[in-house]
Structure 1
Amino acid sequence: MASDLRGSRSGQRDVSVLHVDDDRSVLDLTAAFLDSELDSVSVATTTNPEEALDRLSGERFDCVISDYDMPGLDGLELFEAIREEHPLVPFVLYTGKGSEEIASRAVNAGVTGYFQKGGPDQQRRLANRIEQAAAEYRTKIEADRYSTVLRALEYPIYVVDETGVFSYVNDPFLEMTGYDRGEIVGSGTDIIKGDEAVATAERKLGEILSSEGPDTAQFGVDIVPKDGDPIPCRDHMGVLPYEGEEFRGSVGILRDISDEKRRETELERRTRAMEKAPIGIVLVDPNREDDPITYVNDRFLGMTGYDREEAIGRNCRFLQGPETRADPVAELRGAIEEGESTTVELRNYRKDGEMFWNQVTISPIRDESGEIDRWIGFQKDVTEYKRRERELGRQNDRLERFAEIVSHDLRSPMSVAEGRIELPKGRIDDGSGELDAALDALGRMETIVEDTLTLARQGHTVGEREVVSLEAAAEASWRTSDTADATLETDADVEIYADGDRLRTLLQNLFMNAARHAGPAATVRLGAIDGGFYVADDGPGIPEEKREAIFEPGHTTAETGTGFGLTIVREIVEAHGWEITVTESEGGGARFDVVGIEKAA
């Protein structure tokens, strides 16, 4: 049988109605009346209930009108079939065969409305019920759609009615707060907010409702869960649609910003640390033209004399000047091209034109993808260090010249004096021993000169370090040491990194010190320990209160000592970056421990 669609109007979306009746004249009359009575309606008609079911499977209708007495399916049977597939679609039974039994069955089945066919008044009641039912149906559809969306969203969502009571919350909201839905819905917002937070929300809501206010508001709020500490959140609030003065409530989305707060706190802490750092710090953006400075700390400003506004946005080369050498600048550029860290020393210039030495270290800061997002530069004024370095160099030069003078101009006349005494000594019977005493004095002077030269030439640095056998170095040092009849025992089959010549000098002085104070028949022992070695003897030892003083220049208790031997030992130890301590040996003598030594693999 034929069916058609009637009554479409432009403008608002039509109320879409499907009318089923086996009487074509009733269909036409009802369609015409609905078209004239309702503002916007479209009516599809069919005389076949089975066709109506097919139409519902492929089209959307806001309401179904059906006769009761029809061939194939009666009206209530059609209603049951429709409800199985489309339970929310309104269904109005509009029949000419009215009876209390049919009406009772229809109401009990759950139809939306029941009307008997009649004149204009009855048709008008039908039209009003259709319009009302269609509006309710659309509201249910929208509510179901939005409810589905809200349930699917990961963010906590709430709806508060016009009285300030929760009317809806989604599952993420319940997970955040720790409450059951029954505990939240029907409760005031103060169940999860403090007084200040409630007041803030009310103030923001008032701004939205004002005629000149925004459509939505975003603000920070602490959500107080059922258990645990408050959760910092950002509340995105809006109002529910309403007409006239009838405010219906508000809706909001909460976003947990705990991680954001922690990041902000950490950033503030790092920024404060950078601001108070004792070295200059700059950040450079390599993704902008000419790699401009985006941040400088207070120390940088103090070093250079520039204001923050004068430095931000400029390339770091503005600190360069006439005396800036090209090599370190090229090294910086090469490191930037390779994306690597480096350190150079540059002649830079302050705002007033004064030159200063700047030790610059640059390092890349990479983002999560590994791309360089920023360059950080650490700048340290080393002008005073460079001045001291130059002065130390001049002092070392003068010391070296002095050593040459002592070595040549003092030792030469001493050798002449020694020879002059030796010549007559063989011809003169000097029973008083004065010539021998003079020779001893000259010998002591020679020893003092040797020790002084050794001490002067040790300095505070060492030459290139190499792998040295500790045991071999000890044996070589023992052979060239004046140790009388003392005995050396070694248990140091290890290899270390050291300046070999300086290490042998160190061992010589420790061996001679042991032999000198422990006696001619002393036993000296060299052994390896964790991180170094020790030299011990079986002599009388060194009292604890005198152990620090023995390293001072000129300190000696031996008649033939110069007091420089252990001073030389300490200089060599410190030049290597090692440490030396004095304790008592197992035999009651002195023990020197040298630690902090890197062993060779």
Structure 2
Amino acid sequence: MTDFSSNTPKESIHVLHVDDEPDLARMVTENLEAETDRFTVEWTTDPAEVADIVADRTVDCVISDYMMPDMTGLDVLSEVRSVDPDLPFILFTDTGSESVASEAISAGVSDYIIKRRVKEQYTLLANKVANHVDQRRAEIAAERTKQQLHELAENTHDVLFIFSADWTKLEYINSRYEEMFDQSVATLREDPTSFLGAVHPDDVADVKGAMQRSGEGHTQEVTYRIQGDDDEWKWVESHAEPIFEDGAVVRVAGFTHNMTERKQRELELRAKNERLERFASIVSHDLRNPLSVADGYLEMARNEADSDHLETVASALDRMETLISEILVLAREGQEVTETESVVLDTIVQSSWSNIDQQAARLQADTNVYIEADKIRLGQVFENLFRNAIEHGGDDVTITVGVLDDDAGFYVENDGDPIPDGKKNQIFETGFTTNKQGTGFGLAIIKRIVTAHGWDIRATDGADGGARFEITGVEVTPQEQPPEQN
């Protein structure tokens, strides 16, 4: 028996054999099934029912005799083809004339085998059946994959493309190109660089440079503008990846997607940050200058007279300085976070702890994880939370920092005084404070920094009666599994 398992897929094959001689039909069935356990062979002596069997059941291949009383094998082929035009069909016949063979081939049989008296004919027949079925299955799988890729390409919002390495020949592009670039695929195929006509004149050099570098074997990413509706410009981003064969670039594949909305958000964000920065500068200049003048005259007054009223003025000026400083921080920390990096949370916690007046407070931290953050602004969060805990919990307060369950974020908790009832939703408001000496900006700054990162913060009661602040929406990675660096 031939071993088909080493080079043939394991899927079973259902064979339908038709022959008007029942003894011969049974013998062929038994011999074929003995060749490989992949085969299940069904036989019939009625050629007229073959097409119905093919229509009703799963049949992978038909083996038919040629000369039968009521129908020839080619008549059976014709009826089978009307049901399944591509089903493998093999004539297995003792009629071996050239005219029959020629007629069979012209009719489109998959193979033509003359019956012999030697047992080896069944090995040949089994090989023919397996080869034709496997080939058809491979073609079906390839066509299915091709269709799926076509559906994927045509249902994406991006332009997908493949050009020759020198960009002189378009090998593939999906129909999304026509919508994005307002140009037909036929025009691009005729002139593969015609898309440059839609590119903003100031960006053409950048695009051409990226094309050249990708053709030289370098992955490229370029952002540029193309003509949009109503004479407006759309922002797009193209990625190009060189494809190598035998060490040489033979094609460039990639995609282009519309990033107009994202670019507009970036521009709006930049404008917002610039406004905040201008506000901070105005506050710094217009308030600190008169404050410095007042402080100077205070010193002169102290030299001329000694009065408790001057100390009251000094305290007021100090408080004004604190307010101005925190207003500046509040303005600047309100800016959106545009650049982050992977940082070890424990490093930020310990650094922030060393930056404050700890007094007799104690810190307990279990934060050996990575997070994506702006480490300078995150440090401000911890410094303000630590100061807030000491301010409201007492000099000897214990502060605990840890990671939330399921790595959903982190928390800062203290065992001092709890947050007053009904105040948990107010404490993040600008200017709100329960301490007469406080400015009410510390937690507002924390809220802005957290929000700028895309996170959330909530206040709740601590396990030991104090306050607990939970920051969620943070992507946390265990330290033993460092994230990939960009």
Indicate yes or no: 2:289 matched with 1:401.
no
1:186 matched to 2:45? The reply is yes
| Pairwise CA distance, 1:528 | 4.5
1:341-365 residue CA offsets vs partner (Å, 9 max, x unmatched): 4322123346997643220112357
- Paired residues in the alignment total 416
What is the CA distance between 1:233 and its match in structure 2? 6.2
| Partners of 1:545 and 1:361 in 2: CA distance | 53
Partner of 2:291: 414
Tell me by how many angstroms 1:407 deviates: 0.7
1:274 to 153, 165, 169: 153
Structure 1 residue identity aligned to 2:377:
R
Question: In the aligned structure 1, how far is the partner of 2:274 from the partner of 2:150?
Answer: 46
Q: How does 1:544-563 map to 2 (within 5 A)?
A: 547=424, 549-563=426-440
Structure 2 counterpart of 1:505, which letter?
A: Q
* 1:122-201 map, 5 Å: 160=18, 171=32, 178-179=40-41, 184=43, 186=45, 188=47, 189=50, 192-194=53-55
Residue 510 of structure 1 deviates from its aligned partner by 0.8
Look up the SS of the partner of 2:54 in the other structure.
Answer: coil
Conservation of the 8 A alpha-carbon contact between 1:166 and 1:185:
no
- The Cα shift of 1:216 comes to 9.4
Query: Could you tell me how far 1:157 is from its partner in structure 2?
Result: 8.0
Q: What CA distance in whole angstroms lies between the structure 2 residues aligned with 1:316 and 1:220?
A: 48
In 1, are the aligned partners of 2:369 and 2:476 still within 8 Å (CA)? no
Partner of 2:337: 461
Give the equivalent residue in structure 2 for 1:261: 140
Q: Name the structure 2 match of 1:487.
A: 361
- Of 345-354 and 160-169, more deviation after overlay is shown by 160-169
Local SS of the residue matching 2:169: coil
Q: Counterpart of 1:386?
A: 263
User: Aligned AA for 1:194?
Assistant: A
Identity across matched positions, percent: 30
Distance 2:421 2:144 in 1: 53
User: In 1, are the aligned partners of 2:15 and 2:40 still within 8 Å (CA)?
Assistant: no
Which residue does the alignment assign to 2:213? 334
Higher relative contact order (CA 8 A, sep 6+): 2
**Alpha carbons of structure 1 residues 356 and 591: separation in structure 2 relative to 1, 3 Å:** same
* Cα displacement (A) at 1:237: 6.3
**Relative to 1, partners in 2 of residues 1:197 and 1:390: Cα closer, same or farther, differing over 3 Å?**
closer
CA distance in 2, matches of 1:268, 1:276: 12
Pick closer, same or farther for the CA change 1:398–1:390 going to 2, 3 Å. same
Residue aligned with 2:416, SS: coil
Per the alignment, do residues 419 and 363 of structure 1 end up closer, same or farther by CA in structure 2, a change over 3 Å counting? same
**Distance (Å, rounded) in 2 between the aligned partners of 1:585 and 1:288:** 65
Corresponding residue number in structure 2 for 1:42: none
- Equivalent residue for 2:327? 452
TM-score w.r.t. the length of structure 1 is: 0.54
What is the alpha-carbon distance in structure 2 between the residues aligned to residue 361 and residue 448 of structure 1? 49
Please say if residues 233 and 255 of structure 1, whose CA atoms lie closer than 8 Å, have aligned partners that are also in contact.
no
Between the aligned partners of 1:400 and 1:588, the Cα distance in structure 2 is: 40
Q: Which residue of 2 aligns with 1:296?
A: 174
Amino acid across the alignment from 1:330: G
* Alpha-carbon offset, residue 392 of structure 1: 3.5
Structure 2: how far apart are the matches of 1:449 and 1:177? 87
Q: Alpha-carbon deviation of 1:176? A: 5.8
Rounded Cα–Cα distance in structure 2 between residues aligned with 1:423 and 1:284 = 78
Q: Letter of the aligned partner of 1:489 in structure 2? A: L
Q: Deviations over 1:149-180 (max 9, x none)?
A: xxxxx99987756899995667279866623x
Once the two structures are superposed, the pairs formed by residues 539-578 of structure 1 within 5 Å of their partners are 539-542=416-419, 547=424, 549-573=426-450
3-state DSSP of counterpart to 2:88: strand
Instruction: Say which SS state the counterpart of residue 255 (structure 1) adopts.
Output: helix
Map residues 12-31 of structure 1 onto 2, 5 A cutoff.
none
Q: Alpha-carbon deviation of 1:281?
A: 2.1
1:319 aligned to 2:193? no
Q: Take 2:195 and 2:338, find their aligned partners in 1: how far apart are those partners?
A: 39
Q: CA deviation at 1:275?
A: 1.8
Matches of 1:457 and 1:324 in 2, distance apart?
33
Output the CA distance in 1 between the equivalents of 2:203 and 2:18. 68
Stretches of structure 2 lacking an aligned partner (at least 5 in a row): 3-7, 112-131
Equivalent in the alignment of 2:120: none
CA distance in 2 between partners of 1:326 and 1:164 (Å): 79
Whole-Å Cα distance in 2 between the matches of residues 554 and 235 of structure 1? 83
2: distance between equivalents of 1:187 and 1:209? 14
Distance 2:468 2:380 in 1: 18
* Matched residue type, 1:525: I
> Partner letter of residue 293 of structure 2?
V
Distance 2:96 2:247 in 1: 47
Closer/same/farther in 2, CA of residues 526 and 470 from structure 1, 3 Å limit = farther
Deviations 1:54-111 (A, max 9, x none): xxxxxxxxxxxxxxxxxxxxxxxxxxxxxxxxxxxxxxxxxxxxxxxxxxxxxxxxxx
Matched letter for residue 537 of structure 1? N
In the alignment, residue 401 of structure 2 is paired with which amino acid?
A: G
CA distance in 1, matches of 2:328, 2:454: 22
The alignment partner of 2:356 has SS state of helix
Distance between the aligned counterparts of 2:284 and 2:418, measured in 1? 34
Paired AA for residue 55 in structure 2: G
Task: Name the amino acid aligned to 2:395.
Answer: A
CA distance in 2, matches of 1:402, 1:494: 38
- Separation in 1 of the partners of 2:456 and 2:166? 51
Q: Distance in 2 between matches of 1:494 and 1:237?
A: 69
C-alpha separation in 1, matches of 2:327 and 2:291: 15
Structure-to-structure mapping, 1:15-94, within 5 angstroms: none
Q: Is the alpha carbon distance of 1:534 and 1:293 closer, same or farther for their aligned partners in structure 2, counting shifts above 3 Å?
A: same
Return 5+ residue gaps in structure 1 as ranges.
Answer: 1-147, 149-153, 223-231
Matched residues in 2 for 1:353 and 1:449: separation? 46
Does the aligned pair in 2 maintain the 1:350–1:356 contact within 8 Å? yes
Q: After TM superposition, give the deviation of residue 589 of structure 1 in Å.
A: 1.1
| Distance (Å, rounded) in 2 between the aligned partners of 1:252 and 1:157 | 14
* 2:179 partner letter: G
Counterpart amino acid of residue 455 in structure 1:
L
